[in-house]
Amino acid sequence: MDKNRKYFSTTPIYYVNDVPHIGHAYPTVAADVITRYFKQKGYDARLLTGTDEHGAKIAEAAKKHGKEPKEYTDEISEEFKKTWRELNIDYIRFIRTTDEDHIKVAQTFLQKLYDKGAIDPKPRLYKGLYCVGHEKFMSPEELVDGICPDHKIKPIEHSEKNYYLKLIDYQDWLKEVILSGELNIKPESKRNEILGKIKQGLEDISISRVSLEWGIPLPFDKTHTSYVWIEALINYYTYGSQNNFWPADLHLVGKDILWFHTVIWPIMLHAIGEELPKQIFAHGFFTINGQKMSKTIGNVISPADLVAKYGVDGTRYVLLAAFPFGDDGDFGWEILDRIYTADLSNGLGNLVSRIYKLFTNHTYDHQIQPAVGENSPWVESYKLLIEDLQFSIALDIIRKEIRDIDVEINKIKPWELQLEDQKFFLQRIIPRILLLAKLLQPFLPETAEKILKQFSGQIKSAPPLFPRLR
Ligand code: MSP
């Protein structure tokens, strides 16, 4: 693949009976930031996102709504598109796993797996306990008193003949590519966890169902449909293979689904002779005020709630500034309010408005210098941290620069200077602010543009960038 290309993905989302919530927004905003960052750097960077629409879980949800699965997923995928528009997510394609091209690519992929001998041609009898919530079989150890502890439902006993993907055949290969770094799993702690599990030995997995109609038929045996996870993983390849954009540079996934992305997916690709994604990054999970987010507790936060309070850019920022990406963390309105107020209202917003006020005192007969200092060591560190997806730590660097500029302003008190000296001062400070705007652009695309407009004298007055919270 061309060196100047970057291909990023978030996981396609299930939508069951739910409104889009901040658990969905969190990885999507992160992926958008990294995509915009590389675009700004001149790359042809593309982001793929979408919805995962097959499987028992969706079929059940549709039924509950008295709808056909297709009709139901038509509506819900629109909900997600709307949410991503609200958050200014700049994706190249919103893929639905019910899209015709995906079904075709998935079937070709499955046929190849079969032809290469990665799928056992003889279906095997499978008996197990299937949790519809997880869309996976549960081991007895994972259950608490026979109940799935995450979904509080009793798994369904399931016994039928299924096709199997022969994971065991590939376990040594997989261990090697992880150890050699060819398959790059991040963060390090998660890589070690996965490696530990692989060392215990893999088991072949069932990849088909006969009892479930709402799925993609296996090309080599149409009486079976593909297990939803297997075909959903192929979504990344559907876009990539059709656009000369494979392999992916990064799959951004929640830690709950790391196994699928670091064990099953690489084996599927290797089995058909395809290249592996360059990196798989697992982000953490968050709680709301220390509690799991749940409808029963009533603490679900929707992206629209956040946008109503912090604006689009504010929402994008507070989500990623709250705690290190990759760690678990806690969200709560107080935490988010504090970040918004400190970093955006009092920090960047206040800085821009103070300097803009002085700027409007002058009629400029000369151009303000563009951003300066791009090669300073702190900017280099900032960029490396972003490329490493360490968003909150990268933002610490920005906070420090804003504080430094504030300190300088307070020391020099430019409002007390003669007009001419004031002008010199502004000529020195404004380029530093423009650099901040440029660096923050991936997080704050609209704000960055507003700042540029303000200091190029294109507008006469400007409302505060980040109004105070009430
Ligand atoms: N459909 C599967 C993914 C298939 S990939 C081939 C799925 N969907 S999901 O809707 O349940 O989750 C979508 C993404 O959101 C996952 O990466 C998941 O980890 C993430 N999150 C959902 N709730 C979350 C939190 N509370 N916290 C952080 N991320 C969360 O899994």
3-state secondary structure of 465: coil
Locus of tokens 């702690």? 189
Nearest in space to 282 (alpha carbons), one of 263, 247, 258, 248 = 258
CA–centroid distance, residue 252 to ligand 1 (Å): 10
Position 202 confidence tier, pLDDT thresholds 50, 70, 90 = very high
Q: Which CATH class is domain 5-123+163-283?
A: alpha beta
Lowest mean pLDDT among 12-16, 102-106, 424-428: 12-16
- How confident is the model over 274-280, as a mean pLDDT? 97
pLDDT at 230: 97
Would you give the DSSP letter of residue 396?
H
Is pLDDT of 17 > 80?
A: no
Instruction: Go through the chain and tell me how many residues it has.
Output: 470
pLDDT at 388: 97
pLDDT tens-digit series, residues 298-313: 888 999 999 999 999 9
Residue nearest atom 13 in ligand 1 by C-alpha distance: 13
State percent of the chain over pLDDT 70.
Answer: 98
Residue nearest atom 16 in ligand 1 by C-alpha distance: 254
Which of 9, 24, 29, 190 best tests ligand 1's pocket when mutated (most atoms within 8 Å of CB)? 24
Q: Name all residues whose Cβ lies below 6 A of ligand 1.
A: 11-14, 23-24, 26-27, 52, 232-233, 253-254, 256-257, 285-286, 293
Residue nearest atom 20 in ligand 1 by C-alpha distance: 254
pLDDT at 372: 80
What torsion, rounded to 10 degrees, do the Cα atoms 173, 194, 257, 50 define?
-50
Give the integer Cα–Cα distance in Å for 467 and 344: 9
pLDDT at 1: 58
CA–centroid distance, residue 14 to ligand 1 (Å): 8
Give the integer Cα–Cα distance in Å for 148 and 30: 30
pLDDT at 400: 98
Q: For residue 348, is it left (φ>0), alpha (ψ between -120 and 50) or beta?
A: alpha
Residue 260, Cβ density class (10 Å: 0-12 exposed, 13-18 middle, ≥19 buried): middle
- Measured from the Cα of 14, ligand 1's closest atom is 10
Is pLDDT of 342 > 60?
A: yes
Is pLDDT of 280 > 80?
A: yes
- Measured from the Cα of 293, ligand 1's closest atom is 26
Nearest in space to 212 (alpha carbons), one of 59, 15, 53 = 59
pLDDT at 365: 55
Residue nearest atom 7 in ligand 1 by C-alpha distance: 13
Lowest mean pLDDT among 9-23, 316-330, 388-402: 9-23
Position 14 confidence tier, pLDDT thresholds 50, 70, 90 = confident
* pTM (predicted TM-score): 0.94
pLDDT at 361: 85
- Measured from the Cα of 265, ligand 1's closest atom is 6
Residue nearest atom 28 in ligand 1 by C-alpha distance: 285
Residue nearest atom 21 in ligand 1 by C-alpha distance: 23
Locus of tokens 């593909």? 226
3-state secondary structure of 88: coil
Is pLDDT of 16 > 70?
A: no
- Measured from the Cα of 229, ligand 1's closest atom is 6
pLDDT at 49: 97
Fold category of 303-454 in CATH = Isoleucyl-tRNA Synthetase; Domain 1 (1.10.730)
Is pLDDT of 364 > 90?
A: no
pLDDT at 366: 53
Nearest in space to 97 (alpha carbons), one of 64, 62, 70, 67 = 70
Which of 8, 10, 11 best tests ligand 1's pocket when mutated (most atoms within 8 Å of CB)? 11
Rg (CA), the chain: 25
pLDDT at 132: 86
Is pLDDT of 381 > 70?
A: yes
Position 458 confidence tier, pLDDT thresholds 50, 70, 90 = confident
Residue nearest atom 22 in ligand 1 by C-alpha distance: 23
CA–centroid distance, residue 26 to ligand 1 (Å): 10
pLDDT tens-digit series, residues 153-197: 899 888 889 999 999 999 999 999 999 999 999 999 999 999 999
pLDDT at 130: 87
pLDDT at 371: 77
Position 373 confidence tier, pLDDT thresholds 50, 70, 90 = confident
**φ, ψ (nearest 5 deg) of residue 408:** -65, -45
Position 362 confidence tier, pLDDT thresholds 50, 70, 90 = confident
- Measured from the Cα of 284, ligand 1's closest atom is 28
- How confident is the model over 397-404, as a mean pLDDT? 98
Give the integer Cα–Cα distance in Å for 300 and 292: 9
pLDDT at 460: 79
- Measured from the Cα of 232, ligand 1's closest atom is 6
Which of 8, 10, 13, 84 best tests ligand 1's pocket when mutated (most atoms within 8 Å of CB)? 13
Q: Where in the chain is the domain with CATH 3.40.50.620?
A: 5-123+163-283
CA–centroid distance, residue 253 to ligand 1 (Å): 7
CA–centroid distance, residue 23 to ligand 1 (Å): 7
CA–centroid distance, residue 13 to ligand 1 (Å): 6
Residue nearest atom 11 in ligand 1 by C-alpha distance: 14
Task: Say if residues 180 and 220 touch (Cβ distance below 8 Å).
Answer: no
Angle (CA) 132-327-264 rounded to 5° is 45
CA–centroid distance, residue 410 to ligand 1 (Å): 46
CA–centroid distance, residue 254 to ligand 1 (Å): 6
Residue nearest atom 23 in ligand 1 by C-alpha distance: 23
Taking residue 75's Cβ as centre, other Cβ atoms within 10 Å add up to 12
CA–centroid distance, residue 24 to ligand 1 (Å): 6
Q: Where in the chain is the domain with CATH 1.10.730.10?
A: 303-454
Is pLDDT of 337 > 90?
A: yes
Give the integer Cα–Cα distance in Å for 320 and 343: 12
Is pLDDT of 341 > 60?
A: yes
Residue nearest atom 2 in ligand 1 by C-alpha distance: 13
Nearest in space to 30 (alpha carbons), one of 386, 445, 292, 449 = 386
Residue nearest atom 25 in ligand 1 by C-alpha distance: 23
